Amino acid sequence: MNYNTEIINSAAQQLAGMFKSAVIEQRAAGQGPSTIAKIETDMREALRQIGKQALGLFLSSMETTPASEIACTCGGTLKYQRMRPATLISVFGKVTYERAYYAGCTCKEGKAPLDEQFGLEPGAVTAGLAALLALAGIEFSYAESPKWLQAYLLFDVSENTVRSETEQMGVLQEKREEELVKHSQDEVYLQERQRHPGNVVTRMYGSMDAAKVRIEPRPKKGEEKAEHEDWRDMKVLCWYEVESVSPAQRSTRQREKAVREQAVLRAKNMRYFCDITEADDFGKLLWATGCTVNADLSPELAFLGDGAVWIWNLVAQYYSNAVQIVDWYHAEEHLEDVAMAAFTASPERTFWLESVTQSLWDGQVEDVILACEVLAHSCLKAQQAVTYFTHNIERMRYDKFRAAGYMIGSGTIESACKQIVTQRLKLPGAQWEVTGAVQTAKARAARLSGLWQTLCDHRSALPLAI
């Protein structure tokens, strides 16, 4: 939208003059100098009031001369009643405007064409405000969000409104994912995709993990209190690409990493998805979202994860040709646990750990298993390590993975779990029902994936009552 510079300059001069007069009056009354912070706040409030009035006047001015009657959606006829006022909750606060209202159809429904034109619903939050409320809701607790919003918006919004708008964004993301699942099971869609795949990345990565979310059961009807709290797995998926980090851009940690690994890699173009559901249902999301990034069409597809069986079962089911890599750091930690449990003397422990870690680094997993078997008769951690390394032998050929230039650490998905789950769903005092936790997490995942504007565009046609 283009703005008339001359009009803006004129309005700015009037506002500046009004504040100048106010400051001079304060000084004359001996009230002392106004601080710049006070002037900024007062000017923001003045601009909010101007915006509030201007938005109402704008909407009212967009109403054309009312027709005597218009068609009803049911096929009948609606007759003009009167110019009827309505109130919205906008980014400027409550805004009132007038528009033509029609009623009188046999279906008993009324209609205001101006509301339909701009996607408005009287008494509702506007799409612009809804996006801001949801942004606060995915960043802060629902109890804290109104405090932050008041500081920026200069008017109060309720905790329930923030929760409602945030969860609505999650609902929109749920619907988007449902559509992706539907398309991914449509043969016509899949065939068309094969013919016209669009952008296909040469080497694509996928990672999955899970983080615990505390679910607070609600009492059922007739019960005084619910059962004890439950911890549920929020499964998280990330699709991404990888790029090299130049020596000049490396952090201290990355420089230390380069001493051993030589090349330093980092993720880019991340796309996050999450849900609290069984592995089979999450597999459908895995396949559907993989189709959107053409993971199955990528010449090279690699999956990174820990040793969780559900992860590798899903990878084998949906992407059987993918390179499977167990996170190096998880594997290394297993050896550290064995060393701590099996040896009391520090020199002996250090010697054993350095030896088996080097074998693991070199992809000699069989040697690692043999070293753990020697200790297994008297060490439970060693017994468990034998099982762990045996089940993941081919996923731990780190020498081959490094030689091929693959990333071998699953820090990307661990970061995703922290950003989506830990930093929002595990805030102090957070209490969740499954639905609320999932919708809030999905909204946050969409934001982190760069898909926020897409949700906002969908939300613009879906106002919710405040």
Q: Specify the long-range contacts of residues 425-433, CB closer than 8 Å, at least 24 apart.
A: 425/213, 425/234, 426/213, 426/214, 427/141, 429/141, 429/143, 430/141, 430/214, 431/214, 431/216, 432/213, 432/214, 432/215, 432/216, 433/215, 433/216, 433/218
How high is the pLDDT of residue 279?
A: 97
Which range has the worst mean pLDDT, 216-230, 305-319, 434-448? Answer: 216-230
How high is the pLDDT of residue 176?
A: 96
How high is the pLDDT of residue 429?
A: 75
How high is the pLDDT of residue 259?
A: 52
How high is the pLDDT of residue 71?
A: 94
C-beta separation of 304 from 207 below 8 A: yes
Q: Say whether pLDDT at 122 is over 60.
A: yes
Return the domain boundaries, the chain. Answer: 1-32, 166-319+432-466, 330-396
> What b/e sequence results for 152-166 when a residue is b if at least 16 CB atoms lie within 10 Å of its CB, and e otherwise?
ebeeebeeebbbbbb
Tracing tokens 């054993």 back to the chain, one arrives at: 352
Q: Are strands 300-305 and 265-275 parallel, antiparallel or unpaired?
A: unpaired
Q: Say whether pLDDT at 463 is over 50.
A: no
How high is the pLDDT of residue 430?
A: 82
Burial of 237 (0-12, 13-18, 19+ CB in 10 A): buried
User: pLDDT over 90 for what percent of the chain?
Assistant: 81
Q: Say whether pLDDT at 14 is over 70.
A: yes
H helices within 309-364, ranges in order? 309-318, 328-342, 346-361
Which range has the worst mean pLDDT, 19-28, 47-56, 267-276? Answer: 19-28
Q: Say whether pLDDT at 466 is over 50.
A: no
Residue 299: what are its φ and ψ, rounded to 5°?
A: -55, -30
Q: Residue 32, by phi and psi: left (phi above 0), alpha (psi -120 to 50) or beta?
A: left
Per residue in 36-86, pLDDT tens? 998 999 999 999 999 999 999 999 999 989 999 999 999 999 999 999 999
Task: Tokens for 356, please give them.
Answer: 């088996």
For 139, other C-beta atoms within 10 Å of its C-beta total 15
Q: Say whether pLDDT at 449 is over 60.
A: yes
Per residue in 355-412, pLDDT tens? 999 999 999 999 999 999 999 999 999 999 999 999 999 999 999 999 999 999 999 9
How high is the pLDDT of residue 26?
A: 85
H helices within 377-431, ranges in order? 380-391, 398-403, 411-417, 423-425
How high is the pLDDT of residue 98?
A: 96
Mean pLDDT across 116-126 = 90
How high is the pLDDT of residue 1?
A: 67
> What b/e sequence results for 321-359 when a residue is b if at least 16 CB atoms lie within 10 Å of its CB, and e otherwise?
ebbbbbbbebbbebbeebbebbbeeeeebeebbeebbeb
Q: Taking Cα atoms as reference points, which of 106, 133, 110 lies closest to residue 121?
A: 110
Distance CA 383, CA 369 (A): 10
Q: Are strands 203-215 and 300-305 parallel, antiparallel or unpaired?
A: parallel
Distance CA 338, CA 352 (A): 10
Q: Say whether pLDDT at 224 is over 70.
A: no
Work out the mean pLDDT of the chain and round it to a whole number.
92
**Residue ranges with strand state E in 109-186:** none
Mean pLDDT across 280-284 = 97
Q: Residue 128, by phi and psi: left (phi above 0), alpha (psi -120 to 50) or beta?
A: alpha
How high is the pLDDT of residue 342?
A: 95
How high is the pLDDT of residue 419?
A: 97
How high is the pLDDT of residue 289?
A: 98
Mean pLDDT across 265-290 = 97
Q: Say whether pLDDT at 144 is over 80.
A: yes
* pLDDT-based confidence at residue 462 (cuts at 50, 70, 90): low
Distance CA 208, CA 67 (A): 58
